Amino acid sequence: MSPNAAQLLARRLDELALVTDEPARITRTFLSPAMHRANALVAGWMNEVGLKTRIDSVGNLIGRLEASSPRALAKPKTLLLGSHLDTVRDAGRFDGPLGVLLPIVALAELRRRGIALPFAVEVLGFSEEEGVRFSSAYLGSKGYSGQLRASDLKHRDAKNLSVREALATNAKPFALPKPAHRQSNLLGYIEVHIEQGPVLENEKLAVGVVSAIAGQTRGRLTFRGKAGHAGTTPMALRRDALAGAAELVLFAESLARKTPPLVATVGTLTVSPGAPNVIPGEVTLSLDVRHPRDAARRTALARLFAHAKKIASARQLTCDWQATQDNGAVACSAPLTALLAQSVRAVQSRSLALVSGAGHDAVVMSALTPVAMLFVRCRDGLSHHPDEFASPRDLDVALRVAVDFLERLAQQNPA
């Protein structure tokens, strides 16, 4: 491995982190000006290793390298490697970009070694995975894999612009995309990602493989009561939507604490009309519920909704649920993961399999092609935070694993 490869990767992650919609912190959301600049920057790095780049109708950056082995068939299969280039607000540098930039450096290393691949490779920088702008995640990978539906286009952002309207500014006229490939032409999808949890650090391992990704439901719960004067309305006569919402926030926390590995999060609250001297008349909260077993997630949701109704009826509120995302748990491909584990063992001797509590583009891509994921240790298990960090030493291990994996896959698919 070139001794500079991991340094180069770390430097590029730093450089991409400067591309942001908000000064002094990393924020890139679906189709934002920073996303366009990020696509241009990463496309330049893709071009340097010979990838032909394009942006599709949902804003995904796609870099394609044709099969280069002289033994390659007239129509070789394609391996997909990627992750997302959008971020949460005030994000770290690794969540998403690592899985886009690492394959580019790995392909450069193969070229340096003079290794020709008997299959084509597409490196994918998905335009939307975090669900920040529209509260609905995976718009990029859904578009690429032909799973975007008319219902996905109805979600609205904070400025009341719909997904459809946003997409019309990117591709005119916008039409729901077909899958970028036939399933039979694909070898699989591999995503490298920071772990976003503490397990690898605890086990003193630089990388690990993912066995499955937890299912996830997201949506908005709205409590409606009645706004009124904060000084004159007696406490007993109030219909305070925020007090009701607060009860639900605490119920969600206690339910998840009592039933691990369930996790439940209220990440946003919108209080209306929103003034210190007005009783909150309406509150919308985001709810994100995850569990590795789909039945357990559904049971938890049923309990949350039942409790929301109970709160509403006791406080004379109404309560509505609008789902924005619902993904079942996904098992990674056994053969691809076994091959990846062989590469992990070749580089760091032990391979540990982990379940991912975080969602990934691999969830959506699994409907198109078998998926496998490599996790990279992150400091203090911290993610969705500016201090998110994977060391250059661990990046080096991940790069070695990726190169070894590509070589093994090339041997398995000798054209």
- Strand, coil or helix: 108: helix
> Of ligand GLV, Mn ion, none, which one sits near residue 359, judging by CB under 5 to 8 A according to partner kind?
ligand GLV
Q: Which of 63, 76, 96, 280 binds Mn ion (CB under 5 A)?
A: 96
With respect to ligand GLV, which residue has the nearer C-beta, 187 or 358? 358
> Please, what is the minimum distance in Å from the beta carbon of residue 130 to ligand GLV?
6
State the Cα–Cα distance between residues 103 and 98, nearest whole angstrom.
Answer: 9
Q: Which residues bind ligand GLV (CB under 6 A)?
A: 130, 358-359
With respect to ligand GLV, which residue has the nearer C-beta, 330 or 358? 358
With respect to ligand GLV, which residue has the nearer C-beta, 190 or 358? 358
**97 cis-preceded (ω within 30 degrees of 0):** no
> Please, what is the minimum distance in Å from the beta carbon of residue 337 to ligand GLV?
20
Q: Which stretch binds Mn ion (CB under 5 A): 94-102, 172-180, 265-273, 289-297?
A: 94-102
Cβ atoms of 380 and 201 closer than 8 Å: yes
Cβ atoms of 238 and 279 closer than 8 Å: yes
Look at residues 41, 39, 48 and name the one whose alpha carbon lies nearest to residue 108.
48
With respect to ligand GLV, which residue has the nearer C-beta, 27 or 68? 27
> Please, what is the minimum distance in Å from the beta carbon of residue 323 to Mn ion?
20
> Please, what is the minimum distance in Å from the beta carbon of residue 83 to Mn ion?
6
> Please, what is the minimum distance in Å from the beta carbon of residue 307 to ligand GLV?
23
Backbone angles phi, psi at 193, to 5 degrees: -150, 150
Look at residues 219, 344, 209 and name the one whose alpha carbon lies nearest to residue 289.
219
> Of ligand GLV, Mn ion, none, which one sits near residue 96, judging by CB under 5 to 8 A according to partner kind?
Mn ion
**260 cis-preceded (ω within 30 degrees of 0):** no
> Please, what is the minimum distance in Å from the beta carbon of residue 213 to ligand GLV?
9
* Residue 95 is a binding residue for Mn ion (CB under 5 A): yes
With respect to ligand GLV, which residue has the nearer C-beta, 185 or 286? 286
Q: Which stretch binds Mn ion (CB under 5 A): 93-101, 132-140, 230-238, 367-375?
A: 93-101
Q: Is the dihedral of CA 27, 33, 36, 40 positive or negative?
A: negative
Tell me how many residues contact Mn ion (CB under 5 A): 2
Cβ atoms of 219 and 301 closer than 8 Å: no
With respect to ligand GLV, which residue has the nearer C-beta, 210 or 358? 358
> Of ligand GLV, Mn ion, none, which one sits near residue 103, judging by CB under 5 to 8 A according to partner kind?
none
Kindly give, in sequence order, each residue whose CB lies less than 8 Å from that of residue 281, ignoring residues fewer than 6 positions away: 224, 225, 226, 227, 228, 239, 241, 272, 273
* Residue 191 is a binding residue for Mn ion (CB under 5 A): no
> Please, what is the minimum distance in Å from the beta carbon of residue 267 to Mn ion?
12
C-alpha distances out from residue 178 to 26, 142, 147, 175, 384, Å: 32, 10, 8, 9, 32
Which residue(s) pair with 356 in the sheet? 213
Footprint of Mn ion (CB under 5 A)? 95-96
